[in-house]
Every structure is written in C-alpha cells, then in structure tokens.
Amino acid sequence: MSGDVANNKRANREFHITDKFEAGLVLKGTEVKSIRDGKVNIRDAFARLDRNELWLYGCDIQPWQTAGSYFQHEAKRPRKLLVHKSEILKLSQATLQKGFTIVCLRLYFKGRRVKVELGLAKGKSHSDQRHDLKKKTELREAQREVARFNKR
C-alpha cells in the first residue's frame, strides 16, 4: 500500500513553505493499523527539536478498536522522527531565526513504512492569505474563460 494517508491543506494556506524534507516515524503496531485505516489527523501537527532529536507533536492517531488496553496507544502522544543528523543541524539553525517553524505537510506510506513530509515554514500575515486567495480566484476565472472560448 502506498500513497497519501493524510494531507495538511491548511499548512499551505497559513504558511510560506521554504523547504520540504522527509522523515520516518517511530510507531507502535496499533498506530500503524489505525493509519492504514485512515484514522489520523495532522491538521495541528508540528515538529520540535528536543535534545538533538526531532519530535512530532499534535498528530492525532485514533486508538485501534480491537486492541486490548495493554497494547493500545495514546492518541496525541509525541512521536520521535527519524532524520539524518545533518538535517537536524540544518533545521536547528533555521528554527533559531524568528518566525520559522516545522509543520507537518502530509503523512504517507513508502513501501511498508510510514513517512512524514515536513516543511520549514514561516507564518503568513492575514493580507498575504487574502492575496493568495485573490490570485487563486483570478486564475480559476481565467481558466473558465479559456474553457468557454474553446467550446465555441
């Protein structure tokens, strides 16, 4: 099974994404089963550096229904991300700059492994968000006019 499991559409609307990179996730078996079933929400997920390790916070993976309480996982526990040391150094330097954060963009399977696409992001102001929405609307209207013209 490969392909996207969850996308964070809100991240592109609220942040300027300057750099993207891939990371692995340390998960329990019940978490992988829930992810395969699509019971995951990454809308509020972000990564943070803690003692030279990268951790994912705010990722909500729902508990697996048929698992016993001993094997069950917490829904919003912090999860360790697996990245190269050079990427950790690069991210630590980038997040020291004012306004930069690491947001979760999408969660997907690559072979049998669960991967996360993270983005180094800087928050957009409200006027930037309105400008992007206006540009998107104008592009959509122009495409409609071209399609209408081609039908004739």
If you average pLDDT over residues 99-105, what whole number do you get?
A: 90
Is a pLDDT exceeding 80 seen at residue 71? no
Architecture, CATH, for domain 3-124: Beta Barrel (2.40)
**What local confidence, expressed as pLDDT, does residue 1 receive?**
46
Against a cut of 0.85, is the pTM above it? no
**What local confidence, expressed as pLDDT, does residue 16 receive?**
85
Is a pLDDT exceeding 90 seen at residue 145? no
If you average pLDDT over residues 15-39, what whole number do you get?
A: 87
Q: Exposed e or buried b for every residue in 119-149, given b needs 16+ CB within 10 A?
A: bbbeebeeeeeeeeeeeeeeeeeeeeeeeee
If you average pLDDT over residues 97-118, what whole number do you get?
A: 90
Is a pLDDT exceeding 50 seen at residue 141? yes
> For the segment 29-69, what is each residue's pLDDT rounded down to a tens digit?
888 888 888 889 889 899 999 898 999 999 888 887 776 56
Is a pLDDT exceeding 90 seen at residue 23? yes
